[in-house]
Amino acid sequence: MAEKENEEKGKMTVEEAGRLGGEKGGHKGGEARKRELGHEGYSELGHKGGERVRELVEEGKEAEGEKEK
């Protein structure tokens, strides 16, 4: 049924979109990104990501606390 809807609307499936993105250079993966940034840049990127996760966890805890009150 989903395939029929996609054909009618002229849209592609998730699988087709992923394949197309890979062909156009969409998703690079960790090793390619590491080559681009170098060791220091890749390390800094990971550090920033960890900080962001920490912030999001804290925001979630605060939101849960507000909901309980």
State the total domains in the chain: 1
> CA-to-CA distance for 46 and 28, rounded, in angstroms?
16
pTM of the predicted structure, to 2 decimals: 0.50
Of the pLDDT bands very low, low, confident and very high (cuts 50, 70, 90), residue 1 is very low
Q: How far is CA 37 from the centre of its chain?
A: 18
> Of 17, 36, 16, which Cα lies nearest the Cα of 45?
36
> What is residue 30's predicted lDDT score, i.e. its pLDDT?
82
Query: 41-68: b or e for each residue (b if 16 or more CB lie within 10 Å)?
Result: ebeeeeeeeeeeeeeeeeeeeeeeeeee
Tokens of 1: 């049924």
- The residue range of the domain holding 12 is 2-68
